[in-house]
Amino acid sequence: MPVPKRRHSKSRGRKRRTHWKLEAPALSICPHCHEPKQPHRVCPNCGFYGDEEVIMVEQKKK
């Protein structure tokens, strides 16, 4: 296997890693409870996917 002839500087390695960053997940509004949720997933607040209730979610006590 080839081996690097010289060591890369810290700045060169850091320039390469500038694109290694997290992105915030995309969010959409639930049509049933109007809370933010990830698109194409069951709403964690109400348990609906579109117009159907897919899972039963316990009501949170406020």
pLDDT of residue 9: 95
Residue 40 placed within a domain:
yes
pLDDT of residue 62: 61
Q: Which position has the higher pLDDT, 57 or 7? A: 7
Q: Would 42 be classed as within a structural domain?
A: yes
Quick check: 45 and 33 in contact, CB under 8 A?
yes
CB atoms within 10 A of CB 32: 17
| pTM exceeds 0.75 | no
Domain annotation covers residue 38: yes
Domains of the chain: total: 1
Domain around 31: 25-62
In a domain, 51, yes or no: yes
Tell me the per-residue pLDDT of 32-59, one tens digit each, with 9 for 90 and over: 999 999 999 999 999 999 888 888 888 7
> What's the pLDDT at 61?
60
Q: Residue 42 — left, alpha, or beta (φ > 0 → left; ψ -120 to 50 → alpha)?
A: beta
| 3-class secondary structure, 41 | coil
- The answer to whether position 62 is within a domain reads yes
| 60 pLDDT above the threshold of 90 | no
Instruction: Measure the CA–CA gap between 61 and 25, rounded to whole angstroms.
Output: 27
